[in-house]
Amino acid sequence: MRIDELQLKGFGKWQDAEFHFAPGINLFYAPNEAGKSTLLQGIFAALYGMKRDYVKTTRYLPEYEKYRPWHQGEYETIVTYQLAGKTYRLHRSLLKEREQARLFLDPEWTELTDVYQEDRRKERNFVEKHLGLGRSLFADVTWIRREPLTAGEHLMPALKTETEEANPMIHKILGELDREVSTIGKKERAENTLLGKASTLVAQKEQELRHAESVSHEVGRLSRQIADWEMERVRQEQQRQRLLQGREHWAKKDEEWQKRWQLSYTAPDEQQWVWWENSAQSQEERSLHQGTRQALSRLQTTMQDELSVNLSNSVQIKQRSELEHIQQDYEQGVRLRRHWEEAHMELARQAAVSRLSIGREARQSSGGAAWPWAIAVVLAGLGCISFLFDQAGSGGIALALAFIAAGYGWWMKSKSKAPRKATDDARSEEWQNIQQEISQLDEKLGMLLRKWQVTDWDAFLERKEELHHQLRSHESERLTSELAKKEEESTLLQEWGRKVRTCLAREKEAWESERTNWQTELSRSEERLQEIREQIAKANGQMEAHEGVFVAQARSEYEDAVMSLEQLQVRREALKLARDMLQEALEEWNRDVSPAVNQHASMVMDKISAGVYREVRLDPREGFAVRVLEPARKQILEQEQCSTGTQDQLTFAQRLALLQHVSQQTEPLPLFLDDHFVHYDQDRLERALMYLLELGEQHQIFLFTCVEREQLFLAKWLRAHDRHAIHQLA
């Protein structure tokens, strides 16, 4: 057997981990807590699951909870192994609530799961069927550890000797007999044995026979009951149809009532008053409609009469006419006053312009002629002074020049008077036109004021406001009267609506109980009809369930089951007799340990101890306990009496001897060592490792260690050969 690949989807600390193994020695070197032991347990769990063997019911190993996934992943493994020239792929889900095992044949992935039957523990035991070794035996033989064998009493049938050729066949037959007897079972109440299943089948067939007999009576009873229910269903259907016809009546009546209720909040017109009187459900309601309608008619007539009186009032007509005329004259007066104001503003503007022109001309004239007169005055003054100081010549000249300057100034003044006169004439003409327009506007405003017999414009405005006030007073009185009539009309309509709704409420209360009775009767009819239909359907379903049940067939099957049970019991007794006879013969053989097993154990111990210990014996009556001959004193020592290192070496020899002999019946089995060499000295360690190198040519070996000794010694051989591999665990 060779394990090629292991996938741990979730197992202890490992999650989605994948390992590939070499066919020879696989050395795993890692410190403590790196997951070496978890990986080893994962290999065994992938091959055999986590249930205990050699028990009748499902019980899990103590390690089940210990190796649950740490990361809340799936408790799942996948292992690929080769056996007898075939490659198998075994999937396992280890969770109790979803436990499942499926076996496939590589490379086609043909599923072989259903080829293997489940045992009493709900296990299919794929590897056990392949090797003939259960989990406990496989661990005893392949896992080298200082613990005693856990299934030593079951190991002997798996061994054979070279000196007695009959023993292997006897053990094989005895194993087959045991399996056959176990398969048949000892008690009829066991659920997973053939005897228990046959007994269960007899009880089941007996119950089916009784059931078939009762079914015949039940079918007849149901047929009669279905016929009665069908007749009642027809009657209920007819009654339901009659009741359903009333649904339209009540829906129409409720719709009409809702319409009348909503219309009671709106004022009816003439056509709606007729509808209200025709749809009245009582004389009281009809009288209410007629009385309200008449009161509204009288009120409307009164309002029309008052309106006619108001319209025919001559005073109001005259006031409206005067107001219209005074409004027209007011608008005309506003226009005249606006023109009057504009004319006065123009007149003021002309005056301002005239004053500005005169000032400018004066400045021009004074600026243009002032200097000649000033020179004349100065010269005249000089002449006078000259005459006073008796300078007549100078004085005459000065006076002559003064007269010349005065003449020149008089000439310049006369020259500027001509254009100023033309400008003054134009301004005077425009001034007269504006004055004439103002006079005309004053005349028109005076005529307008005299027309309304007022002295000024403010009095005219007071007259206009007085007419407005009188007309508004009359209009206010008229509107107040109309509003009072409207309020009276609204009060009449509100009172009418309230009374109508009171009548409608009494009306609905009167027929609501009648409709409730109708609904109750309809619901009761529909419930009864549904109940009858369900009873008929249930009865038909019961009859369909009883189809194919025949009393004669059930009786025949019951008799066949009883006969099969009797035959199985006879077969079990025969197998037990044959097994007991072979067991007696085998017990004689078991008193002596197979010489080949002892010889192989002695050979292994001789190699490891370099000839110090050469004789080793295994006692099958005490769980293959190991004893060794101490060469110096020739004493037989129990394993516990030796040193710790020697005890480990004796265990090593014991398991290798058993491994070799079991492998002869199947094929080379793998070997597992988990920190086994801790107590070996260096010499014995090297000899043990050299022996493992020889053994690795035929067997697959898994060597787990947390120290470097094994790696340092084996590295040169393992790296030089493709058959071996060194694995580093993260």
Q: Return the closest-CA partner of residue 43 out of 73, 65, 74, 21.
A: 21
- Quickly state the pLDDT bin for 552 (edges 50, 70, 90): confident
What pLDDT does 361 receive?
A: 60
pLDDT tens-digit series, residues 299-320:
777 766 665 555 555 566 776 7
Phi-psi region of 565 (alpha: psi -120 to 50; beta: other; left: phi over 0): alpha
What pLDDT does 188 receive?
A: 63
Q: What is the mean pLDDT of residues 215-237?
A: 84
Dihedrals phi, psi of 562, to nearest 5 degrees: -65, -40
The 3-state DSSP class for residue 49 equals coil
pLDDT tens-digit series, residues 91-122:
999 998 888 999 999 888 899 988 888 877 77
Cβ atoms 589, 170 nearer than 8 A? yes
Dihedrals phi, psi of 336, to nearest 5 degrees: -60, -45
What pLDDT does 421 receive?
A: 58
- Eight-state DSSP code of residue 642: S
pLDDT tens-digit series, residues 397-417:
666 676 677 776 667 666 655
What pLDDT does 604 receive?
A: 92
pLDDT tens-digit series, residues 150-172:
877 777 665 544 434 445 556 56
Lowest mean pLDDT among 185-189, 280-284, 543-547: 185-189
287-295 own/partner pairs: CB under 8 Å, 24+ apart: 288/496, 288/499, 288/500, 288/503, 289/496, 289/500, 292/492, 292/493, 292/495, 292/496, 295/492
Give the side-chain half-sphere CA count within 13 A for 421: 5
Peptide bond into 668 cis (omega under 30): no
**In degrees to the nearest 10, what's the CA dihedral of 287, 291, 297, 301?**
150
Q: Return the closest-CA partner of residue 660 out of 162, 64, 96, 124.
A: 162
pLDDT tens-digit series, residues 656-666:
998 988 888 77
What pLDDT does 165 receive?
A: 41
Q: Which H or E element spans position 673?
A: strand 671-674
pLDDT tens-digit series, residues 44-64:
999 999 988 877 777 888 889
Highest mean pLDDT among 5-14, 514-523, 538-547: 5-14
